[in-house]
């Protein structure tokens, strides 16, 4: 029976901890094509649904809230309001 070199296990363990390792901790921008708010945060569908479904807001208030997030495309705004 061939004995496994302990260096192999050491290097394997270090690879798991390396920040750039595929199976390690992900680094960088995981969603490069995400729609972002004016402050740079990612706009989630849940956030948009909350605005679109808020019965206390008028249609114009909803449009303005979406624009305030940083979305300015009129077609996209209309699609969001239909969520």
- First and final CA of the chain: distance in angstroms? 63
Determine, yes or no, domain membership for 15: yes
* Domains held by the chain: number: 1
Predicted confidence (pLDDT) at residue 34 exceeds the cutoff of 60: yes
Task: Give the C-alpha separation, 47 to 73, whole Å.
Answer: 17
The pTM of this model reads: 0.59
Q: Which phi and psi (to 5°) does residue 42 adopt?
A: -75, 135
pLDDT tens digits, one per residue of 41-64? 888 889 999 999 999 999 999 999
Determine, yes or no, domain membership for 1: no
Task: Give the C-alpha separation, 35 to 71, whole Å.
Answer: 8
Domain range holding 50? 6-81
Number of H helices, E strands in the chain: 4, 0
Predicted confidence (pLDDT) at residue 18 exceeds the cutoff of 90: no
* Residue showing tokens 């849940």: 46
């Amino acid at each position: 029976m061939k004995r496994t070199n302990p260096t192999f296990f050491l290097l394997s363990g270090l690879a798991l901890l390396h920040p750039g390792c595929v199976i390690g901790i992900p680094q960088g921008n995981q969603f490069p094509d995400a729609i972002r708010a004016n402050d740079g945060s990612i706009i989630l569908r849940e956030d948009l649904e909350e605005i679109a479904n808020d019965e206390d807001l008028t249609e114009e208030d909803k449009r303005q809230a979406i624009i305030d997030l940083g979305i300015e495309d009129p077609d996209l705004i209309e699609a969001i309001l239909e969520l």
